[in-house]
Amino acid sequence: MNALNLARDIVDALEDKKGEDIVLMDIKEIASFTDYFVICTGTSDRMLDALANSAIDDIRKKHKRKGKKQGNSRDGWVVVDFGDVVVHLFSPDQRGYYQIEELWEEGKVLVRLQ
């Protein structure tokens, strides 16, 4: 299975659930622990949970892979780890605060959906 296909399917699942400002970053040249980051904003706690669950369910069905969910939507940051792809789901405030795209700016942005 191709990690990029996995990442693109995650982007599609997040887009279907109305995730905002979705970014797919290739970081395999600068990180040893994963190949891709998918970063997305959700406008409420409930939406962050729905985005995480949608990604987990969709990837389980399409790729037979389990994602490990960490974090609490009430804190504004949920991470879903699929191994080759790590998904970061943020509230608008937390995304602005952590500025994860800037921390990993050496990575290549492959997809950006507003």
Q: What are 6-44's pLDDT values in tens digits?
A: 999 999 999 999 999 999 999 999 999 999 999 999 999
CATH of the domain at 20: 3.30.460.10
Burial 43-79 (b: 16+ CB within 10 A, else e): eeeebbbbbbbbbbebbeeebeeebebebebeebbbe
- pLDDT (average), residues 83-98: 97
Please give the tally of structural domains in the chain.
1
Query: What is the reported pTM?
Result: 0.95
* Residue 76, domain extent: 3-113
In this model, does residue 1 exceed pLDDT 70?
no
Rounded (5°) CA angle 9-75-81: 30
Q: 39 is written with which tokens?
A: 């970063």
